[in-house]
Amino acid sequence: MLSAVVDLLCCPVCRAPFECADRTLWCGQGHSFDLAKQGYVTLLGGAGNSFRSDTSEMLSARTRFLDGGFFDPIMTAVSGNCEDGAAVLDVGAGTGHYLAAAVHHAGGRGVGLDLSKLAARQISRRSGPIGAVVADGWQPFPIADGMIDVALSIFSPRNVPEFSRVLAPGGRLIVVSPTPRHLTEIVEAVGMIGVDKDKAVRIGNSMSGHFTRAERTLVEYPIALSHTQVADVVLMGPSAFHLTERDVASRLSGYPDPMTVTVSVTVAVYQADSVTDS
């Protein structure tokens, strides 16, 4: 329902506010963007990118896995940080799973940004006041200054200056990132891309000068996954670009079915640093 969040958006060309009429977003400078028939809008800036977006197979695997409830404790931890009526922005929103839960919990509204048009289609099918936008998370967000109450970065890159710009006074950024223990049994068995042991330090360094961490919670628990579910975990993320379903099945031969797997992530809440005049 893009119409419910038009006031949160801005033109990617000139940064002017939008109006919506006849399935078109247009700004006062004459730039216009047509809505796709599925309900999302593409607001890519002029600069190109070198990143690969999610494929339909990756999104299908992610949907099956997340709908299985295996990451529900993570979803609950994220949603619990969204206050009533919050305007929520999810960058790298994927299927919109976490965004929809946050919006529902807060009784608010949300925007899901993703580079993949296939992902935007899935986000646009979510019920409630949620708008889907195709945009590059490393470019300036097509989001107006100071309009977002809660921004989400869940297993996705963090354009820290842009998060700082779009957050309203008192707003918060929620970052979910894996620890080195996350899915380690699958990493060892299959050769899935693992977690850099210095990741937490790099995240902290990237936030410096823009955000101060207010809270950090470890969410860690075991889950039992069939070999089919393990394949979905592997193939729903970047490992899908160098592993196939056949590769996963072959490498799991001899491992118990189901496997016990560790989920281990941190859910960190950041407050924007106040800016004072010199």
Q: Is residue 277 part of a domain?
A: no
pTM above threshold 0.85: yes
| Burial status of residue 127 (CB atoms within 10 A of its CB: 0-12, 13-18, 19 or more) | exposed
At 236-264, the pLDDT tens digits run 988 888 889 999 999 999 999 999 999 99
In a domain, 18, yes or no: yes
Residue 46 pLDDT grade (very low, low, confident, very high; cuts 50, 70, 90)? low
Is 182 within any annotated ligand binding site?
A: yes
Any known ligand binding at 31? yes
Q: Is residue 115 part of a domain?
A: yes
Q: What is the extent of the structural domain holding 135?
A: 2-47+55-272
Counted residue by residue, the chain has a size of: 278
Is residue 117 included in any domain, yes or no?
yes
Q: How many CB atoms lie within 10 A of CB 257?
A: 13
Q: What percent of the chain has pLDDT over 70?
A: 96
Q: What's the mean pLDDT when you consider all of the chain?
A: 91
Residue-wise pLDDT for 82-117, tens only, equals 999 999 999 999 999 999 999 999 999 999 999 999
Cα→Cα distances 49→113, 115, 136, 138, Å: 15, 10, 8, 8
Total tally of structural domains belonging to the chain? 1
Distances in Å between the Cα of 105 and the Cα atoms of 78, 79, 233 are: 10, 6, 26
pLDDT class for 278, splitting at 50, 70, 90? very low
HSE-up (13 A, CA, CB side) for residue 75: 18
Residue 278, domain member (yes or no): no
Looking at residue 204, which CATH number applies to its domain? 3.40.50.150
Q: Is there a binding annotation on residue 104?
A: no
Tell me if 38 is assigned to some domain: yes
Q: Is 97 annotated as a binding residue?
A: no
Confidence of residue 51 (pLDDT cuts 50, 70, 90): low
